[in-house]
Amino acid sequence: MKFLDLCKVYIRSGGGGGGCVSFRREKYIEYGGPDGGDGGTGGSVWAEAVDGLNTLIDFRYQQHFFAKNGQPGMGKQRTGKDGDDIILRVPVGTEILDEDQETVICDLTELGQRVQLARGGNGGWGNLHFKSSTNQAPRRSNPGQEGVERTLWLRLKLIADVGLLGLPNAGKSTFLAATSNARPKIADYPFTTLHPNLGVVGVDNTEFVVADIPGLIEGASEGRGLGDLFLGHVERCAVLLHLIDGTSETVAEDCRTIIGELEAYGGELAEKPRVTVLNKVDALDEEERAERLKELEKASGGDVMMMSGVAGEGVTEVLRTLRQNIDDDRLRYRTSEEEETWQP
């Protein structure tokens, strides 16, 4: 299944049905009076966050969503049928933006959350509604209210607890594959990850979700490489895991490059808690480890951990550090039955 996180849709709610002008006509009833019914209400357009989706690919093949119009009123005081609503089923974490792609209309962050995007038009009044003591035979009715037509953008931001950051080939996909059942593409060339991947990681009988996004390079905020389009998928994360390739000769510069791109992206992303890790230390001797660890601590301005995703060295310690930065209400705890097959 292809990954799609931004799409454009066209919606239109249904118009209300017109009111009816009618008079009661029955044998032996000389003055039956008005009996025209009201028109039905037009259908509305809703968006609902549903389970089992992690892409907007369905909206690649259908972009137009039009709700049904309400039926006109009829004689014998019959009201027209209401138009059927239409529901856009989207993944949890979908933002709905106005046509300018800046104004956020709603943010569907919880399963089952619904929001009305376009309200159906009201049905018009029939002539029965206008009957009064001074106007006992009205010959007027109201037309139905027109529907609302809008152009909207859907933008998916994956719901994850930890976001992986780093230059291409920093070992992000290897870490995700080593700690979860996710199977992202892994190769010895840059930009093997072309779309975000999610994995459920466990440590100390708790689980949390990790998101791996394509690697950033210097100038990503200006559109270089794959740009910073995928950084939105880590905006909701509680903590960021910044992986740095330990085999690189410029670990300090690599660290500053990612931090600079986070600051250029704006928002609160650069202020989020960040765990910096020197990765691929299995390829370094003790002297090289100490030297590059010192450079990295100076560049990042904080503590730096060491890890090897391939060899498994230091992975558990990194997971425990990440877990400490995640609120308990975001964690999933293992049940007693699940603990029997638990493998940290």
C-beta separation of 153 from 6 below 8 A: yes
CA-based end-to-end distance of the chain: 30
C-beta separation of 161 from 210 below 8 A: yes
Residue 240 pairs with which residues in a beta bridge? 163, 274
Q: What does each of the 344 residues of the chain score in pLDDT, given as a tens digit?
A: 467 888 999 999 999 999 999 999 888 888 889 999 999 999 999 999 998 888 898 898 899 999 999 999 999 999 999 999 999 999 998 999 999 988 999 999 899 999 999 999 999 999 999 999 899 899 999 999 999 999 999 998 887 889 888 888 888 888 888 888 777 777 666 666 777 888 888 888 888 888 888 878 777 766 676 667 778 888 888 899 999 988 888 888 888 888 888 888 877 788 888 899 999 888 888 888 888 888 888 888 888 899 988 888 889 999 999 988 888 767 767 654 444 433 44
**What is the spatial distance between Cα 109 and Cα 91, in angstroms, rounded to a whole number?**
9
pLDDT at 338 (0 to 100): 47
| CATH number of the structural domain 1-156 | 2.70.210.12
**Binding site as annotated, residues for Mg(2+):** 173, 193
Instruction: Measure Cα distances from 111 to 47, 51, 71, 150 in Å.
Output: 12, 7, 33, 25
**What is the spatial distance between Cα 83 and Cα 317, in angstroms, rounded to a whole number?**
58
C-beta separation of 261 from 220 below 8 A: yes
**Binding site as annotated, residues:** 166-173, 191-195, 212-215, 279-282, 308-310
Q: What is the pTM of this model?
A: 0.76
- CATH fold match for the domains 1-156 and 162-339: no
CA dihedral in degrees (193, 49, 153, 14; nearest 10)? 150
- Domain 162-339 adopts which CATH fold? Rossmann fold (3.40.50)
Helices (H), 216-310: 251-265, 286-300
Domain boundaries, the chain: 1-156, 162-339
**What is the spatial distance between Cα 182 and Cα 202, in angstroms, rounded to a whole number?**
13
**Binding site as annotated, residues for GTP:** 166-173, 191-195, 212-215, 279-282, 308-310
Question: Which of 120, 110, 118, 100 shows the shortest CA–CA distance to 8?
Answer: 100
